[in-house]
Structure 1
Amino acid sequence: MLTAGTVWAALFTYVLMLAAFRYAKQRTFHVLTMTSVILFDLGMPIYLYLYKGWYRRLIVESELTSILVWIHFMMLVMMYALYVMQVKTALCLLRSDNSVRIDHRAQGKALLLVRALVIFTGALLVES
């Protein structure tokens, strides 16, 4: 489903995400970087659908029954759910509602962990 180039791109965006988390007080850098990473992650399934042999691997080669595919899928669902919560708290922060700052940071830490697992499971699924 994935290629090595796709994994490298995901790793690069993960490093950007770590930098944005580390320098969260530089609001412009943080917001632009995190928005870019979210858009990258939203575009990845579309890219894979349009340009990779997902049908052959999942249906023809019966990889759909693989536990690794399902673990990867569930990590993706969790990552997207965390993105929704992150955006909601980020919008509150941009409106100067600091009551959600602790939640936003905790969600950010969880997102870093889940996204690392998504990249790891995706790398394990790379077609050789």
Structure 2
Amino acid sequence: MSSEVLQAAALIYLLMIAAFFLHKIRPLHVAIMGGAMLFDLLVPFYLYMHRDWYGQLVTHEGGADFILWCHWALLMTLYILYALQAKSGVALAKVAAADDKNSLALRAEHHLQARGVLLVRLFVILTGWAVFDPQFVLR
């Protein structure tokens, strides 16, 4: 990753933490979390268009790096969590006014998924940093 992408990812991560705690302000919460998901979905396209992946992965044999494969696995986990989070968020929005058991169960599910998203996204940023700057791991 480029350093600008890492900085943007770290800033958006801080915004996600703020939105996690400001869940009662739904429009702000949904806007920040949705924007973060969109950012994470578009970053691979940006990196594909602006990096020499053939030179980095094939010529320099970077494709066999363990940290790179960890990063990819974490990204796939993050995307799956995003899909589950969006699904439970939409279901929660449909029953937002009700305080029945279904609503409480959806809230608990959404909250646990959000914790997972924040944890996995932190590790995605750290492994992305390690892929960008291998000396980061060795320090």
TM-score of the aligned structures, taking structure 1 as reference length: 0.95
Structure 2: how far apart are the matches of 1:127 and 1:113? 21
Counterpart position of 1:112: 118
Distance in 1 separating the partners of 2:44 and 2:35:
15
Instruction: Report the equivalent of 1:63.
Output: 62
Percent sequence identity over matched residues? Answer: 35
Unmatched runs of 5 consecutive residues or more in structure 1: none
Q: Name the residue aligned to 1:9.
A: 8
Structure 2 counterpart of 1:25: 24
1:39 maps to what in 2? 38
Bigger Cα Rg: 2
- Of 118-127 and 106-115, more deviation after overlay is shown by 118-127
Amino acid at match of 1:3: S
Instruction: Give the CA deviation at 1:127.
Output: 4.9
- Quote the residue 1:103 is aligned against: 109
User: Where does structure 1 differ by over 6 angstroms across 4 or more consecutive aligned residues?
Assistant: none
Q: Secondary structure of 1:125's partner?
A: helix
Give the stretch that moved more between structures: 90-99 or 3-12: 90-99
Aligned length: 127
Which structure would you say has the larger RCO, counting Cα contacts within 8 Å and 6 or more residues apart? 1
Q: CA RMSD in A?
A: 1.2
Matched, 1:126 2:125: no
Per the normalisation by structure 2, the TM-score is 0.88
